[in-house]
Amino acid sequence: MTEYDNSDKENFLYPRSSYYGQFKPEDLVFNANLQEFAQKVGYIVSLQTGGKITSEEAYTQIKQLWKKLKQSKKELGINDKPPTES
């Protein structure tokens, strides 16, 4: 039997897509955070749909993830408004 390290499990559970936007380090980091948020929300929804957690538990967990994502956006200094064209 082959042993797998944690990175194999992480890559399977939380796959990352390539980033194709304009490259800025903060955008790249936020994109990774956004992808992680989306993956975790998907798992939470599946658990709730499958009857493993209640709707209230799902809501609470997603709300916590949202706050974490919102905080990362603020810390990275990403503006809500798209850049204006000159």
Q: What percentage of the chain has pLDDT greater than the value 70?
A: 77
* pLDDT tops 90 at residue 32: yes
* pLDDT tops 90 at residue 5: no
Handedness of CA 6, 7, 11, 14 (dihedral sign): positive
Residue 8's pLDDT is what? Answer: 75
Average pLDDT of the residues in 9-20: 70
Q: Are 26 and 73 in contact (CB under 8 A)?
A: no
Average pLDDT of the residues in 81-85: 59
Confidence at 11, pLDDT banded by 50, 70, 90:
low
pTM greater than 0.85 (yes/no): no
